[in-house]
Amino acid sequence: MNYDKLSEEELLNLINMSNLPNHIAIIMDGNGRWAKKRFMPRNFGHQEGMERVIEIVETASQLGIKYLTLYAFSTENWKRPKNEIDGLMKILVLYIKRELDKLCKNNVKLNILGDISALPELARKEVKKAIKNTEDNSGMALNIALNYGSRDEIILAVKGIIKDIEMGNINIEDLNPGIFSNYLYTKNQPDPDLLIRPSGELRLSNFMLYQVAYTEFWFSDVLWPDFKTRKLYEAIIDYQNRDRRFGGI
């Protein structure tokens, strides 16, 4: 459907509030190309990307989305030049410094998916503080995937399961998809209903491979720094027009 002629408010009115996706996951991609188009360094694109994180977190929590997962830094992103990685870590610290009070005010609970032990000390410290300060919040759960890789996550789960089997906490026979899920970073959370990837790439890039078994995928050519509130509305409207069968008829 072409939504270009509709205002943001008209789009909002098209959303069925009783059929919202419980869990939305977003692969925030396209910052570098957005900057390149403006003859600016890649980190300029990441800065503008942060503005969209702020906007989309606010929009999702106001809508009443229960879980929002944002893919911010993958286990493969360490391959990038040091200057870009440093810039991304600085932006992470800046984001928390700027937004922590608002997250608390909006009752948002921050979780991290991924191994934060590999982050620079300052970033780790800020992230831990934000997790601690929001731990009792009961509104939207905001998962930020940081140094996240789905294959690493699955291997970590397998290791945890083997340990629990060895210790007699679970029996091999009892292992099932539900129990397996409890060893993932997303334990106790529902699988994403809707996965959004902007920037025109049609791949998962090592993101939530286990959790997206029945997720609806929504792709767009828009680059992440241009992914404003109305794009989220469009994705949700399209999602609500899908027929989710889960293997049934």
CB of 73 to Mg ion, least distance (A): 11
Q: Does 75 bind ligand IPE (CB under 6 A)?
A: no
Q: Are 54 and 95 in contact (CB under 8 A)?
A: yes
Residues in the chain, total: 249
Q: Report how many residues bind ligand IPE under the rule CB under 6 A.
A: 19
Q: Are 198 and 231 in contact (CB under 8 A)?
A: yes
Q: Does 77 bind ligand IPE (CB under 6 A)?
A: yes
CB of 26 to ligand IPE, least distance (A): 9
Instruction: Verify whether residue 238 is a known catalytic residue.
Output: no
Coil, helix or strand at residue 144:
strand
Residue 134: enclosing H or E segment and its boundaries? Answer: helix 121-134
Instruction: Verify whether residue 191 is a known catalytic residue.
Output: no
Q: Does 48 bind ligand IPE (CB under 6 A)?
A: no
CA 52-181-155 angle, 5° bins: 90
CB of 226 to ligand IPE, least distance (A): 12
Q: Which does 73 bind (CB under 5 to 8 A by kind): ligand IPE, Mg ion, none?
A: ligand IPE
Residue 245 counted as an annotated binding residue: no
Q: Does 43 bind ligand IPE (CB under 6 A)?
A: no
Residue with tokens 């090592």: 206
CB of 199 to ligand IPE, least distance (A): 6
CA 155-199-181 angle, 5° bins: 25
Q: Pseudo-torsion of CA 133, 136, 138, 140, nearest 10°?
A: 30
Check residue 168 and report its DSSP letter: T
Catalytic residues: 29, 77
- Binding-site members for substrate are 30-34, 42, 46, 74-76, 78, 80, 197, 203-205
Contact set with Mg ion (CB under 5 A)? 29
List interacting residues with ligand IPE (CB under 6 A): 27-33, 46, 49, 71-74, 77, 88, 199, 201, 203, 205
